Structure 1
Amino acid sequence: MTTPRPAAGSSALGDSHPSLRERVYVELRERIIEAEYAAGTRLVEREIAEELRVSRVPVREAMQRLESEGFLSVRPRRGSVVADFGPRDAAHLFDVRENLEGLAARLAARHATPAQLRDLEGLLARARKAAESGRLREAVSLNADFHRRIVELSGNPLLVDLMAPLDSRLRRLFRLTSAQSDGEPMCGAHERLYAAVRDRDEHGAETLARAHVADTRASTERLLATLEEQDSE
């Protein structure tokens, strides 16, 4: 069963555009990322269509897309369920991130404009303030935004397209581990990376980006393994 969500008086997703299928896809993806649909939750096409007040076609297309991106899996006699995100999934994500985020940081140091750097500095300031105020979930969300912004600052549209699916996986990973995360070290690592990008230090930015991914890998995989064991008990 799915969990009802729309607020009283809210409009159906079909009442506006862009693309209805895109709106349904984004809605379902965000529910998975934010753990409103936990791993193992069965998603029923008909129920979702009724809840969102749309036809079953855009729901079916959105679920097929989420399946292709690894957010949903099809299980015998259960249909579509929210896929697990365990240590092995994290390992695959980190393998790709270390290389592509290193490249993104190097290109950002080369191409970022002064206006973009000011925006990035403001984002870091908000993340630091949230961490110091104990608003850990907000800090984690802002730090996830930092990774996405670095990719955007690379100035390479192909890299942006390649990283877009990984951004959703990264946000889901950050959300799953946010309760046990420490925003302070992450803020510090991002501030050092920002300084390298600002100073046009391409080699330094790439090195710091790779090191940041590597530093968080082992602890994240251990945490996910612990969560996996707890869920199986």
Structure 2
Amino acid sequence: MDSESLEPLAIQAYRALERMIVTLELSPGSIATEAALIEKLGLGRTPVREAIQRLAWEGLLEIRPRAGLAITQLHPADWVRVIDARRGVEVVLARSAARFVTQEAAHRFHDAAIAMQQAVLSGNVVAFLDADKAFDDALALASDNPFATRVAAPLQTHSRRYWFRHQRETGLAESAEHHVGLIRMILEHDEDGAAAEAERLMTLLRSHAQSAALR
């Protein structure tokens, strides 16, 4: 039995819908219906409804009574705002992860780094996004700070969506390099180094966001 099958159905539904939104399979501004998503995922009404409520709270879709589910539009200038909101909490998480990283989290970081490098070699952007999500999950586990994690998680998802929209053609190798550098500092228990790498990653993403806003 794989690890995904052990997850609660609501978490499976959330991950599947989040991935569809991030990769623009559910396109910005489009209207979906709860019934269509239930049929597509095959996970039942209750878990899909829970996932929809969570995604609405995170600002990735809007529930419109009697009209359906509106997938949030992408406005390039908002990517800058996402990164500005994300920067401080990512530094907190990175520093905390370097201090408290467990063996389980270390294995997850290692797997995420390998998956990112393989995604770069194969040019598989969606595989990279999956690895990036795995990295964020490892960071949440290692940091042992659920308050910071709850702030960071929706910002990370929004950022992935913007990155996929604006940077997937050219940003794969550079983004992977910065993530692997951050993982290295965390696994070496270097708090200052991890904080600095998190700052560098946010600076890189902000430069991409600024470029997107100017197009």
Q: Which has the larger radius of gyration?
A: 1
CA distance in 2, matches of 1:25, 1:43: 15
What are the ranges of 5 or more consecutive residues in structure 1 without an aligned counterpart? Answer: 1-15, 227-233
Q: 1:152 to 1:176 in 2, by over 3 A?
A: farther
SS of the counterpart of 2:31? coil
Aligned residues: 211
Structure 2 counterpart of 1:217, from 203, 206, 215: 206
Residue of structure 2 in register with 1:231 after alignment: none
Q: Which amino acid aligns with 1:161?
A: R
Whether 1:134 aligns to 2:129 is: no
Whether 1:87 aligns to 2:67 is: no
SS of the counterpart of 1:204? helix
Residue of structure 1 in register with 2:190 after alignment: 201
Structure 1 counterpart of 2:164, from 168, 171, 175: 175
Whether 1:124 aligns to 2:109 is: no
State which drifts further: 91-100 or 140-149.
140-149
Higher RCO by CA contacts (8 Å cutoff, separation 6 or greater): 2
CA distance in 1, matches of 2:43, 2:110: 41
Structure 2 counterpart of 1:71, from 45, 48, 60: 60
Residue of structure 1 in register with 2:90 after alignment: 101
Whether 1:184 aligns to 2:173 is: yes
Query: 1:142-196, CA deviations, whole angstroms, 9 ceiling, x for partnerless residues?
Result: 2343233223211222222332323332332333235323322222222222222
CA distance in 1, matches of 2:108, 2:44: 40
Q: Which amino acid aligns with 2:166?
A: T
Identity %: 27
Whether 1:146 aligns to 2:135 is: yes
Q: 1:108 to 1:37 in 2, by over 3 A?
A: same
State which drifts further: 150-159 or 102-111.
150-159
CA distance in 1, matches of 2:130, 2:39: 31
Q: Which amino acid aligns with 2:182?
A: L
SS of the counterpart of 2:74? coil
Question: Pairwise CA RMSD of aligned residues?
Answer: 3.3
Q: 1:84 to 1:192 in 2, by over 3 A?
A: same
